[in-house]
A and B are shown apart, each in its own frame.
Chain A
Amino acid sequence: MAPQLYLITPADPDPAQFPRRLMAVLTGPEIAALLVRRGNLDDAAYAEMAERLVQIGQAAGAAVLVEDDVALATGIGADGVHITNGGLKAIREAVSLLKPDGIVGVGNVRSRHDAMSFGELDVDYVMFGPLGGEPDPQAAELAQWWAETFEVPAVHSNPAADVSQGDATGAEFLALSDCIWAQNDPAVTLKAFADTIRTGA
């Protein structure tokens, strides 16, 4: 089964330009979820950016997630949170506050033991690999193992994904970030990805 696409915004988006750019990208292939990355934004800037992107993402039919901040997610009407900091405690808290209406996903999985501990907490997905920057060499292997064994969906995040390769891990979602935004025309690159994974590469 071809994975669905999961889009992660860049680390330092230009507040003036990025929303327009995102709109252009979202006119292309269907995106299952959009994660607004905190990157190096401060709280106020992140809240403002997230609020704008929630509108754009939801208009395009994607579920929009924000990083860690449950209060922000409910405040701006986002679909859920992606927890990277705070470990089990933060995940439990987010699950109790957002479920069953909202989405709670976890990332920052450093070991198999972590993955299993997180995966038991009634989360909606477990993400393997970093949100951006250098790809994690172990992520693909972990994602494959997870997808084969557990029922909780896996997200394989590969910031250096290669258009011609697609995703061979069997994870339910493929998360794309820097490899899209580094291109001159992200929309075309994303389209190419969608074509590659649909043809089952």
Chain B
Amino acid sequence: MTWRAPLLVLLFCSVSSLALAQNPADAEAQANQAETISNTIFGSGETPDYAFGAFQRGYFLTALELALPRAETGDAAAQTLIAEIYAKGLGVAQNDERAAGWYQLASKNGDMLATFELGLLYQDGVGVPQDRTKAAELFKTAADKGYPPAKYNLALLHVEGVYADPSLTTAARLMQEAADAELPEAQYDYGSMLIEGAGVAPDAAEGARYIGLAAEQDLIAAQIDYATLLYLGQGIEKDVEAAANWYLRAAEGGNPVAQNRLAKLMAVGEGTTLDLETAAMWRALARRQGLTDPALDRLLVSIPADALARAEERARFWPSTPPSIETIAEIPTTAPVYGPPLPAPTDMENAPSRVVVREAGQPEPGADTDPAETGTTPPAETETPPAASPPAQNP
């Protein structure tokens, strides 16, 4: 039990520092100390943004209170912060109009995040009248300042070609910039553009690489496409096992197409072990979302009735396991104890000493009436289980 000692010391330290922090002067001293440390590490040029600090820790109302005076004087960061608080309804009632108002101000003061978010509001007509021309302008402004999501949206507008001039080459350039900033949607779309040669010279290998990057970032559509590319060996070396793995990841993400394809691979044991029951489970899950596939049904026609029943049962409880399946495989073992046996928690000697059976004429231990007598009553004398004895009563 020697490891307990340092833990206790730590505990006491933290308790004492908490007590210190309650003293305002000490708290201030601590804050100053923290600032000094922060300045030595990060340099002292930046003044800390207390509003954002509060926001990050979830003290949204404090953040709002700290940001409001700054926002009124035209601080773009504070204005964006308030807009975020209202747009997401953090600690306040969600209010899209108010969010739009603050985004508008922050955007005018040059905050590119605010410009982009305002563009989204205009695009969908949330809190402001829908105006896709204006949204396109705002995306362009934010994209010119280098904000990757704005580049992605602007690229989509160039593809659509209604609110921005129709140009696949511009779209591809913007998409590449956003993809290189590791935006998964952009990586997937740019990969697809490369494969199809839309606005860029076709390059299947590079396209597959970009789609792979998006798949790594858990974009389900990219995972399915990447798995298909791996399975067919298009632009990348054929690897059926890896394909099955990517289908599995997407299937676990709940996508019916991936579940269907994974079931097919499992039904024939391609790239994965042959497992009709699990295949039937994935089929059931895909069907539940409305995807039925006669080809898969043919592959699973030979499944035994009991396996099918188990598969349906598993699908019903997916992603958990059905209660009929015992999930606890083994009881965790404890390390062997050397030396004298330690008292088990259920030992009578460890029972709480407060409930002490009092014999007739003996004063209650702990009562203030006779301190000398109290001291001589060891708590370990409790011999009777508490449940079998009447509770101690005050005299």
Contact = CB atoms under 8 A, between A and B. Distances in A.
A111 interface: yes
B104 A145 contact: yes
B68 A113 contact: yes
B142 interface: no
A172 to B, nearest CB: 14
Nearest to A117: B98
Contact of A149 (B71, B72, B95, B104): B104
B101 A145 contact: yes
A198 interface: no
A149 B68 contact: no
B129 interface: yes
B129 A112 contact: no
Interface string B100-118: 1110110010000000000
Contacts of B108: 145
Contacts of B97: 116, 119-120, 149-150
A120 B129 CA distance: 16
B129 A148 contact: no
A120 B101 CA distance: 12
Nearest to B95: A120
Per DSSP, chain A at the interface is helix
Interface string B70-107: 01100000000000000000000001011011101100
B105 A145 contact: yes
Contacts of B68: 113
B354 to A, nearest CB: 56
B104 A116 contact: no
B198 interface: no
B128 A113 contact: no
A111 B98 contact: no
Interface in A98-134: 111-113, 115-116, 119-120
A148 to B, nearest CB: 6
A49 B115 CA distance: 49
Contact of A116 (B101, B128, B129): B101
A148 B72 contact: no
Task: Point out which of A111, A113, A120, A148 has the most chain B C-beta atoms below 10 A from its C-beta.
Answer: A113
A149 B68 CA distance: 19
The 9 closest A-B pairs by CB, nearest first: A149-B104, A111-B72, A116-B98, A149-B101, A149-B100, A116-B101, A145-B104, A113-B68, A145-B105
Interface of A: 111-113, 115-116, 119-120, 145-146, 148-151
Given A112-B72, A116-B101, 19 more contacts: A112-B101, A112-B105, A113-B71, A113-B72, A115-B101, A119-B97, A120-B95, A120-B97, A145-B101, A145-B104, A145-B105, A146-B101, A148-B104, A149-B97, A149-B101, A149-B104, A150-B97, A150-B128, A151-B129
7 contacts: A116-B97, A145-B104, A145-B105, A145-B108, A149-B97, A149-B104, A149-B128
